[in-house]
């Protein structure tokens, strides 16, 4: 009996040693996936980075720089029956990618990288994606094997992948057990809707492991490991509760992705559009729903303008929510901004969005044009097939997909921002003519609370005749913006003190009431700089001097903040 116990104990230890010894072979099949973003996304992110650096936010700028490096997650090799090579991973790992690379790293540090991978097919509901190699190359003769036997609770499992360490990612191979072989999870915190099934296990999984395989030991297959799932998420508030998509779901996904059976594209689109419309009927903001349907091109082309619109027009709660998304994943934040921009165009001033399908046609490019009846108006949209899934590429005149039009809108925004017409504080200096007294210098300091102004002004006559007028006034400004220039009529009423000295012995002093009117001229070429012309009429109250009522014609230049 004792010998039998020793024999089984040695057999168990040998199996464990063999399994871990074969772990290094997994490195040839489990790789680090990096994203290459759409060129428009990169251009926009670099703009944000540059602006942050100029404002001294070096930490945030560095975060964007690191993000653009595209460290994303893990994936593993799958070889189809015809010898075609693919990489399997999670959909959320590769979303928003224009192209991808996968790197395999051996124990001695040697790396093999394959660039130019493209997304072949995705299933957003299952969170699965399959990638194909550039030009259909076949660098592998075999991939990881699948274990079709349902896993048992308590059995040993292994997780492999490339979790992040700072701004890099490193190989990790971990061991645990299956703690629940078939579990469904609550989809939303405020909903009873469930999604899954998943395999719950305790093998260590960290950010970056997503898309990597969950394995069991199996003799006679490559690496002596077989795939039973794809690691996809972890429980935030629980310890050692990680979840993998089971292999039977993966097999269904692969069969669908590689199927050669003909598909009724119009029917496929109609189903997708129906789901899109249903989600818009919720009695809440729906930009998170719209974001799930946007093509990469739609986000890339419209994001910059959408962000300007968001910051200008969205409620604070929406801005804060999308800012939170952006801080976690900048590309997802851009996607959410475009989705809000589209939702804002759909939503009436009061009530919910009323939308229905009007028609489905095709355009000259062969893409589908879906016409919606939105609150009684027909809006056309283009839908394109992206990775096997139909996505919204353009929407009416809002998200047009025309880069030149977006650039024109952005130039208009930049001009509007540069064309300052509302100032918190502004200073002026210039020349004026005090009738009956002569040429004078004028200086003023003004505070603005739109549309009102509060100012302190000095006019001092040059030459032998001494005249000084110190006045305060309250005024109003009404800007008229004309693209790159603005004309601002202004007026005001004030009071002040006038000091005169025509001879050494003749000192004059009087209090005056004044009425003023004039025009300011501003251009976006030099933000904050303006010219103004005005006329002031002073009504004097005789105290020491018999100074008559008189006018002042002035010209000045100013700068405002």
The partner residues of 556 in beta bridges, in order of sequence, read 430, 532
User: What integer pLDDT is reported at residue 70 of this predicted model?
Assistant: 67
User: What integer pLDDT is reported at residue 308 of this predicted model?
Assistant: 82
Buried b (16+ CB within 10 A) or exposed e, 80-112: eeeebbbbbbbbbbbbbbbbbbbebbeeeeeee
**Residue 408 resides in a domain:** yes
User: What integer pLDDT is reported at residue 20 of this predicted model?
Assistant: 45
Residue 156: strand, helix, or coil: strand
Contact between residue 441 and residue 431 where contact means Cβ atoms under 8 Å apart: yes
Whole-angstrom distance, CA of residue 122 vs CA of residue 319: 30
Residue 22: strand, helix, or coil: coil
**Residue 45 resides in a domain:** no
Tell me: do 306 and 255 sit in the same domain.
no
**Residue 135 resides in a domain:** yes
Tell me: do 430 and 409 sit in the same domain.
no
Tell me: do 480 and 549 sit in the same domain.
yes
Lookup: tokens for 465: 């005749």
Angle, vertex CA 298, rays to CA 293 and CA 299, nearest 5: 85
User: What integer pLDDT is reported at residue 504 of this predicted model?
Assistant: 52
Specify the number of domains making up the chain. 3
Whole-angstrom distance, CA of residue 7 vs CA of residue 19: 18
Contact between residue 489 and residue 387 where contact means Cβ atoms under 8 Å apart: no
User: What integer pLDDT is reported at residue 15 of this predicted model?
Assistant: 43
Tell me: do 449 and 500 sit in the same domain.
yes
Tens of pLDDT, residue by residue, the chain (561 residues): 444 444 333 444 444 444 445 667 899 999 999 988 878 778 878 887 887 677 676 766 776 777 777 667 999 999 999 999 999 999 989 887 888 999 999 988 899 999 999 999 999 889 999 999 988 899 999 999 999 888 899 999 999 999 986 567 899 999 999 999 999 988 766 667 788 899 999 999 998 999 999 999 999 898 999 999 999 999 877 888 999 999 999 999 999 999 888 888 999 999 999 999 999 988 889 999 999 999 988 988 888 888 888 888 899 999 999 888 887 778 888 899 999 999 999 998 888 899 999 999 988 888 899 999 999 999 999 999 888 889 999 999 888 866 676 677 667 777 777 788 888 999 999 999 999 888 999 999 999 988 999 999 988 887 766 788 999 999 999 999 887 899 999 999 999 998 887 655 566 788 889 999 999 999 888 889 999 999 999 998 876 667 889 999 999 999 998
Report strand pairing: 145-146 vs 225-234. Answer: parallel
Q: Which of 372, 400, 418 is the last residue of a domain?
A: 418
Tell me: do 460 and 388 sit in the same domain.
no
**Residue 357 resides in a domain:** yes
Tell me: do 112 and 129 sit in the same domain.
yes
Report strand pairing: 529-542 vs 550-560. Answer: antiparallel
Whole-angstrom distance, CA of residue 241 vs CA of residue 359: 47
Whole-angstrom distance, CA of residue 420 vs CA of residue 523: 8
Lookup: tokens for 220: 């006679």
Q: Which of 358, 389, 418 is the last residue of a domain?
A: 418
Q: Which of 418, 441, 465 is the last residue of a domain?
A: 418
Tell me: do 462 and 492 sit in the same domain.
yes
Lookup: tokens for 378: 């027909």
Instruction: For the beta carbon of residue 263, count every other beta carbon within 10 angstroms.
Output: 10
CATH number at residue 127: 2.40.10.120
Tell me: do 158 and 240 sit in the same domain.
yes
User: What integer pLDDT is reported at residue 465 of this predicted model?
Assistant: 66
CATH number at residue 481: 2.40.160.20
Tell me: do 81 and 212 sit in the same domain.
yes
Angle, vertex CA 541, rays to CA 540 and CA 545, nearest 5: 85
Report strand pairing: 506-523 vs 156-161. Answer: unpaired
User: What integer pLDDT is reported at residue 216 of this predicted model?
Assistant: 96
Would residue 253 be called left, alpha or beta, if left means φ above 0 and alpha means ψ between -120 and 50 degrees? alpha
Contact between residue 26 and residue 225 where contact means Cβ atoms under 8 Å apart: yes
Whole-angstrom distance, CA of residue 283 vs CA of residue 281: 6
**Residue 101 resides in a domain:** yes
**Residue 179 resides in a domain:** yes
Whole-angstrom distance, CA of residue 87 vs CA of residue 134: 12
Tell me: do 127 and 234 sit in the same domain.
yes
Lookup: tokens for 470: 């110190």
Per-residue CA distances from 147 to 21, 81, 153 (Å): 20, 16, 15
Sign for the CA dihedral angle at 65, 67, 70, 75 comes to: positive
Cis bond before residue 197 (omega within 30° of 0): yes
Q: Which domain holds residue 175?
A: 21-39+66-261
Tell me: do 485 and 339 sit in the same domain.
no
User: What integer pLDDT is reported at residue 5 of this predicted model?
Assistant: 43
Lookup: tokens for 189: 């915190």
CATH number at residue 333: 3.10.450
**Residue 15 resides in a domain:** no
Whole-angstrom distance, CA of residue 479 vs CA of residue 489: 7
**Residue 7 resides in a domain:** no
Tell me: do 227 and 269 sit in the same domain.
no
């Amino acid at each position: 009996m004792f010998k039998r116990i020793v024999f089984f104990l040695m057999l168990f230890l040998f199996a464990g040693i063999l399994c871990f010894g074969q772990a290094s072979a997994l490195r040839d099949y489990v790789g680090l996936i990096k994203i290459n973003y759409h060129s428009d996304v990169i251009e926009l992110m670099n703009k944000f980075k540059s602006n942050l650096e100029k404002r001294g936010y070096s930490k945030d700028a560095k975060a964007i720089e690191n993000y653009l490096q595209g460290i994303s997650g893990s994936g593993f090799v799958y070889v189809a029956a015809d010898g075609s090579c693919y990489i399997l991973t999670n959909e959320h790992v590769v979303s928003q990618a224009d192209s991808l690379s996968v790197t395999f790293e051996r124990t001695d540090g040697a790396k093999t990288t394959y660039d130019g991978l493209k997304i072949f097919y995705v299933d957003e509901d299952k969170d699965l994606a399959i990638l194909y190699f550039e030009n259909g190359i076949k660098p592998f003769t075999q991939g990881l094997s699948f274990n079709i036997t349902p896993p048992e609770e308590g059995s040993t499992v292994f997780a492999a992948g490339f979790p992040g360490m700072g701004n890099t990612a490193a190989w990790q191979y971990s061991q645990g057990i299956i703690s629940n072989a078939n579990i469904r999870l609550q989809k939303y915190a405020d909903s009873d809707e469930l999604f899954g099934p998943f395999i719950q296990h305790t093998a260590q999984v960290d950010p970056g492991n997503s898309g990597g395989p969950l394995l069991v030991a199996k003799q006679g297959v490559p690496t002596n490991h077989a795939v039973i799932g794809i690691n996809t998420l972890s429980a935030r508030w629980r310890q050692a509760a990680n979840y993998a998509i089971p292999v039977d779901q993966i097999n269904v996904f692969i069969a669908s992705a590689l199927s050669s059976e003909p598909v009724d594209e119009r029917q496929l689109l109609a189903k997708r559009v129906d789901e899109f419309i249903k989600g818009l009927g919720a009695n809440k903001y729906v930009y998170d729903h719209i974001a799930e349907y946007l093509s990469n091109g739609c986000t890339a082309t419209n994001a910059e303008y959408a962000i300007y619109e968001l910051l200008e027009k969205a409620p604070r709660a929406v801005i804060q929510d999308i800012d939170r998304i952006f801080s976690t994943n900048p590309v997802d934040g851009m996607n959410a901004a475009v989705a809000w921009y589209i939702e804002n165009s759909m939503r009436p001033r009061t009530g919910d969005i009323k939308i229905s399908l009007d028609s489905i046609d095709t355009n000259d490019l062969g893409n589908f044009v879906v016409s919606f009846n939105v609150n009684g108006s027909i809006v056309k949209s283009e839908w394109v097939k992206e990775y096997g899934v139909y996505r919204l590429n353009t929407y009416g005149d809002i998200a047009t997909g025309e880069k030149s039009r977006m650039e024109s809108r952005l130039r208009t925004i930049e001009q509007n921002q540069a064309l300052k017409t509302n100032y918190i504080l502004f200073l002026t200096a210039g020349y004026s003519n005090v009738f009956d007294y002569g040429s004078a210098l004028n200086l003023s300091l003004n505070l603005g609370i739109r549309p009102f102004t509060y100012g302190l002004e000095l006019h001092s006559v040059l030459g032998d005749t001494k005249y000084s007028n110190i006045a305060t006034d309250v005024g109003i400004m009404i800007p008229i913006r004309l693209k790159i220039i603005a004309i601002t009529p202004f007026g005001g009423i004030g009071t002040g003190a006038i000091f005169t000295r025509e001879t050494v012995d003749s000192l004059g002093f009087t209090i005056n009431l004044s009425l003023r009117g004039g025009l300011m001229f501003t251009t976006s070429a030099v933000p904050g700089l303006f010219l103004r012309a005005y006329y002031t009429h002073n009504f004097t109250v005789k105290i020491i001097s018999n100074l008559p009522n008189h006018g002042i014609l002035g010209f000045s230049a100013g700068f405002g903040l």
